[in-house]
Amino acid sequence: MKHFSDFSADDLADLARSDVSRALAEDVGGGDLTAALVDAGRPARARILARESAVICGRPWVEAAVLACDPQARLTWHVGEGEHCSPDQVVLHIEGRAQALLTAERTALNFLQLLSAVATKTATFVETVKGTRAAIVDTRKTLPGLRLAQKYAVKTGGGVNHRIGLYDAVLIKENHIAAAGGVAPVLQRVRDTAPQARFVEIEVETLAQLDEALACGATMILLDNMDIPTLHEAVRRNAGRAILEISGGVNLQTVRALAETGVDRISIGGLTKDVKAVDFSMRFESL
């Protein structure tokens, strides 16, 4: 699988169509029994309203859902991808067959509410650390089957994607270190086993492990669950030699102080794992 950073617009559209195909299959099955109550040829115009402020994200998925049900439908966006919307703002108008819009409604809104929530939460963290050197980074703690969609939403919100999966980069954690016999042996082995990795990162839990990792030539180090004074000392010892990332115990109340230690990256599983959907609704209008 190609890395997400290499996706073209066509790749993104293909991803959205694939996700939407699965979503419609589980929702519609053999047919929409309720939408069948509406005349198949009846035209309709609908608006999608944001019920709260948010960063809009998910346009390719919304369009894929609507066009899968009505290829002739016309969508007019009033808020661009990655832009902020206000409560009760109309973000999109759709014209098409009423029956098709009714069938597409829930799938389109599900993607819009989820991906906008991820983008909005990411943007809030990014704004909170503004002025520091720290980038806000996602993790693999994503909804099964929707990892690329959620990582796209993180990027839309101004965040940075970590590895996409186990196949594209190496993150050596405490169990890997223990199983391989220590920091030095595991770093030596990775040079032989994963030359294709986009990056190699090793997790350390103490300053002694940090020193050992730096001595072994580590270029990216994850500082796990360290307190603020220890993080300041880690940054001092590193002296710019490796990219430093921190994780663990990160929330909106702690992230600014963590960023001000001088680390390069802050990874937050909650960007994609603990997400409260943004409230959107679809309403039909008179033609």
Whether the per-residue pLDDT at 235 is higher than 80: the answer is yes
CATH of the domain at 156: 3.20.20.70
- For residue 33, how many other CB atoms are within 10 A of its CB? 9
pLDDT at position 115 is 98
Residues 33 and 145 placed together within one structural domain of the fold:
no
Average pLDDT estimate for 144-170: 95
Whether the per-residue pLDDT at 91 is higher than 80: the answer is yes
**With bands split at pLDDT 50, 70 and 90, how would you rate the model's confidence at 7?**
confident
Whether the per-residue pLDDT at 1 is higher than 80: the answer is no
Residues 102 and 232 placed together within one structural domain of the fold:
no
pLDDT at position 213 is 95
Residues 121 and 143 placed together within one structural domain of the fold:
no
Tell me the pTM: 0.94
| 224 catalytically annotated | yes
Residues 103 and 143 placed together within one structural domain of the fold:
no
Percentage of the chain exceeding pLDDT 90: 86
Residues 147 and 111 placed together within one structural domain of the fold:
no
CATH of the domain at 56: 3.90.1170.20
pLDDT at position 188 is 87
pLDDT at position 2 is 60
Q: Which residues, at least 6 apart from 197, have a Cβ–Cβ distance to it below 8 Å?
A: 168, 169, 170, 190
pLDDT at position 192 is 85
Using CA atoms, how far apart are residues 37 and 34, in angstroms rounded to an integer?
Answer: 6
| 198 catalytically annotated | no
Residue 35 DSSP one-character state: G
Question: How many angstroms separate the Cα of 75 from the Cα of each of 39, 42, 62, 70, 160?
Answer: 21, 17, 9, 11, 29
Residues 154 and 253 placed together within one structural domain of the fold:
yes
Range of the domain at 235: 131-273
Per-residue pLDDT of 28-84, as tens digits, reads 999 999 999 999 889 999 999 999 999 999 999 999 999 999 999 999 999 999 999
Using CA atoms, how far apart are residues 142 and 150, in angstroms rounded to an integer?
Answer: 7
Strand order across the beta sheet in which 135-137 lies: 135-137, 265-267, 243-247, 220-224, 200-204, 170-172
pLDDT at position 285 is 92
Contact indicator for 151, 142 with CB cutoff of 8 Å: yes
Residues 110 and 145 placed together within one structural domain of the fold:
no
Average pLDDT, the chain: 95
Q: Catalytic: which of 83, 224, 233, 279?
A: 224
Using CA atoms, how far apart are residues 185 and 177, in angstroms rounded to an integer?
Answer: 8
Residues 138 and 267 placed together within one structural domain of the fold:
yes
Whether the per-residue pLDDT at 114 is higher than 70: the answer is yes
**With bands split at pLDDT 50, 70 and 90, how would you rate the model's confidence at 271?**
very high
Q: Lowest-pLDDT range, 124-138, 173-187, 250-264?
A: 173-187
Q: Catalytic: which of 63, 70, 105, 203?
A: 203
Phi then psi for 113, rounded to 5 degrees? Answer: -70, -35
Residues 58 and 173 placed together within one structural domain of the fold:
no
Task: Provide the number of structural domains found in the chain.
Answer: 2
Using CA atoms, how far apart are residues 190 and 125, in angstroms rounded to an integer?
Answer: 33
Q: What does the radius of gyration of the chain's CA atoms come to, in whole angstroms?
A: 22
Question: How many angstroms separate the Cα of 43 from the Cα of each of 66, 73, 95?
Answer: 14, 10, 8
Report which of residues 225 and 77 the model is more confident about.
Answer: 77
Residues 119 and 173 placed together within one structural domain of the fold:
no
Q: Catalytic: which of 45, 47, 141, 147?
A: 141
pLDDT at position 137 is 98
Beta strands in the chain (DSSP E): 43-50, 54-55, 74-77, 84-85, 89-97, 135-137, 170-172, 200-204, 220-224, 243-247, 265-267, 280-285
Residues 160 and 56 placed together within one structural domain of the fold:
no
Q: Catalytic: which of 2, 22, 74, 173?
A: 173
Per-residue pLDDT of 166-210, as tens digits, reads 999 999 998 998 888 888 899 988 888 988 899 999 999 999 999
Residues 244 and 256 placed together within one structural domain of the fold:
yes
Report which of residues 266 and 195 the model is more confident about.
Answer: 266
pLDDT at position 3 is 65
Q: Catalytic: which of 17, 45, 51, 106?
A: 106
